[in-house]
A = this chain, B = another copy of it.
Amino acid sequence: MKRAPKLASLAVPRGGASVASGGRAPLTWLDAVQWDRDGLVPVIAQEVGSNDVLMFAHMNREALQRTAATGRAVYWSRSRQKLWEKGEESGHVQQVHEIRMDCDNDVLLLKVTQLGHEPGIACHTGRHSCFFQRQEGDAWRSVEPVLKDPKAIYK
């Protein structure tokens, strides 16, 4: 989002991989991510087809690596301080089609199919998307229907 063009540095891992680097693992696409002070990166999940923004979460390095390896979204839960396989309790798994990164290498965008219910439920409130509150004057109003009772999702 910053305005000064920094094109030369885009998508280039910092430093270089070397066999003679003292046993350090080779740098990969994971090293190009600008992890924040907590070792996390913000992630937006967007539904393939509708292009709806479903949710926002974070990943650490292991979560991103596992997401890419398995094709299923794995996040880092900041509240529980552990890896969170999306859908591990609800069954509302996210199939990942693409992983995108922004111009500053510090935000990711997943293109996903929201599995486990039709239509897809990404939100713990039982709604399609977490972004169901709309500002109307001096209030926030819920404008998206609950597709499934959360009590039936998390037994």
Contacts and interface: CB of A to CB of B under 8 A. Distances in A.
B4 A98 contact: no
A103 B123 contact: yes
Interface residues of A, number: 56
A62 interface: no
Q: How many copies of this chain are found per oligomer?
A: 2
B56 A124 contact: no
B154 A131 contact: no
A100 B134 contact: yes
Interface string A6-26: 010011000000000000000
A101 B53 contact: no
Contacts of A147: none
Contacts of A68: 135
A11 B140 contact: yes
B154 A32 contact: no
B142 A3 contact: no
Contact of A53 (B55, B109, B132): B109
A111 B53 CA distance: 11
A46 B109 CA distance: 12
Interface string A116-138: 00000001110100111111011
Interface of A: 1-5, 7, 10-11, 28-29, 32, 42, 44, 46, 50-53, 55-57, 68, 75, 77, 79, 89-90, 98-105, 107, 109, 123-125, 127, 130-135, 137-142, 150-151, 154
The 3 tightest CB contacts between A and B, nearest first, are: A51-B51, A11-B140, A99-B135
